[in-house]
Amino acid sequence: MAIQIRPSLHLGQNRVLTTLLSGEAVVVDTESFDSLNYIMGMGLEPEVSAHVLKMLKYNSVFVDVGANVGYYTLRATTRLLRHDKVFSFEANPHTYDLLQRSLYANSYLDYPNIVTTNCAVHDREGPLELVFSPRGLGGASLWTPKNAPNVQQVTVRGAKLDDLIPADLVVDVVKIDVEGNEPYVIRGMHGIIARSPNIKIVLEFFEAYFANNSYDQMQFQREIADLGLQMWRVGDGGALILHPLDVPLKGSHYCVLARSLDDYFTREGDMLIEAESLEIRPIYRSSKTPIVQNGRIAYAKERFSHVRDQDDERVLFHGPYISLDPGSYQLRLVGRVEGEFLMRIQYDFGRVVIAAVTLNATTDKTFPFVLQEAAQKFEIAVWRTDASRLIEVDQIVLKQL
């Protein structure tokens, strides 16, 4: 049996497929995050995942260490789309198979920018002994006693993240959830950290893990500081609280490691829709004077007088086909308009239209809207009309209220 979660639930980003007992596929409709949590028997960390998604830009490089069945991998992929690069690592061969099935269920199995690897990310190359419960989706560990009840043992490949990621690639966001192996993952990615000035690392930091695997906690905190990173713990309501690295962090927390979060805090809650993330009609993209240059959109009628007056040539741009959770939003265009253009805010490839407006010189270019359900393939689309003369868009900002 396989359970496929339809995209009508609040997470709204994907349909996670997990194998239970046989090969039959059963579709289960859900209406909330909690339903998926119940079905999968695992926490989905809404406050943590919200930070991960906000850290991603349309062209980010995302690394998922301890991918499990692919929750973060899929959410990042739906946010980043074809501009992304996603590296997904899962040590447990059983769970790695479920990760592949999740990708298949969401039509991403052969997606060229997703690289999945069945290995244990560590600080060295070589075989490692992984202990896991065949009845659980999580909890596989290199540190669980091999004689613990109801567990199995499997030999897996160990490898450094520095050896698994192309040496010239700058990494933007890393999520690490590896049941106590986090310090060894960090030790094996010093090269990535050195060449990635704005890297954000989201990881589990559980005090009990250090006692279990004989890794000195304060040594790990000193190593973090030596890498030039600071540490913020995720507090109540998702608040990020700076924690001094010379003071032991007690208890169980999710944390963010980064050199600085200045760039994150300045845009938290805002998603800048970069011009390069939009689909541009070929006639406007391949011209000697394309409408997208230096990160802005600029169309002038006199430059394109040769364009045929057909419906498909009237569309200037559309996209970026991201996924949004239910909630209140505001879309804002920064720029100027001469004449008249048409714009639609929509999702599901235009099957659901949120708003259709006319853009002109006097139009208020701030558009609030509410999503009652998750929106996949969210986009804005702008058409020229017979009255169109000029449109210049410096920024498109999407804000969740």
Domain with CATH 2.60.120 in the chain: 270-400
The least confident of 76-80, 117-121, 390-394 is 76-80
The least confident of 2-6, 69-73, 319-323, 335-339 is 2-6
- CATH homologous superfamily of 43-267: Vaccinia Virus protein VP39 (3.40.50.150)
Name residue 375's beta-bridge partners. 324
The alpha carbon of 5 is separated from its chain's Cα centroid by a whole number of angstroms, namely 18
**Of 135 and 338, the one with more pLDDT:** 338
Residue 273 — very low, low, confident or very high, per pLDDT cuts 50/70/90? Answer: confident
Predicted confidence (pLDDT) per residue in 87-146, tens digit? 999 999 989 998 999 888 877 888 888 999 999 999 999 999 998 887 776 778 887 776
> 352-359 and 327-347: which strand pairing?
antiparallel
Predicted confidence (pLDDT) per residue in 144-170, tens digit? 776 778 888 999 999 999 999 999 999
Return all residues near 301 (Cβ < 8 A) that are at least 6 apart. 339, 384, 388, 389, 390
CB 143 within 8 A of CB 213: yes
In three state form, how does the secondary structure of the chain look? CEEEECCCCCCCCCCCEEECCCCCEEEECCCCHHHHHHHHCCCCCHHHHHHHHHHCCCCCEEEEECCCCCHHHHHHHHHHHHHCEEEEECCCHHHHHHHHHHHHHCCCCCCCCEEEECCEEECCCEEEEEEECCCCCCCCECCCCCCCCCCEEEEEEEEEHHHHCCCCCCCCEEEECCCCCHHHHHHCCHHHHHHCCCCEEEEEEEHHHHHHHCCCHHHHHHHHHHCCCEEEEECHHHCEEEECCCCCCCCEEEEEEECCCHHHHHHCCEEECCHHHCEECHHHHCCCCCCEECCEEEEEHHHHCCCCCCHHHHEEEEEEEEEECCEEEEEEEEEEEEEEEEEEEEECCCCEEEEEEEECCCCCCEEEEEECCCEEEEEEEEEEEEEEEEEEEEEEEEEEC
pLDDT of residue 2: 33
pTM: predicted TM-score of the whole model, two decimal places: 0.71
pLDDT of residue 111: 82
Residue 84 — very low, low, confident or very high, per pLDDT cuts 50/70/90? Answer: low
Domain with CATH 3.40.50.150 in the chain: 43-267
pLDDT of residue 62: 96
pLDDT of residue 327: 84
CATH 2.60.120 is the classification of domain 270-400 = yes
**Exposure string (b/e) for 72-83, b if CB count within 10 Å is 16 or more?**
bbbbbbbbbbee
The alpha carbon of 193 is separated from its chain's Cα centroid by a whole number of angstroms, namely 19
Q: What is the mean pLDDT of the chain?
A: 82
Predicted confidence (pLDDT) per residue in 175-198, tens digit? 999 988 999 999 999 999 999 999
Residue 25 — very low, low, confident or very high, per pLDDT cuts 50/70/90? Answer: very low
Among the listed residues 332, 320, 321, the one whose alpha carbon sits nearest the alpha carbon of residue 359: 332
pLDDT of residue 81: 59
**Of 78 and 30, the one with more pLDDT:** 78
Q: How far apart are CA 252 and CA 297, in angstroms?
A: 47
Predicted confidence (pLDDT) per residue in 200-249, tens digit? 999 999 888 887 776 899 999 999 999 999 999 998 888 899 999 999 99
**Type of residue numbered 264:** Y
pLDDT of residue 347: 92
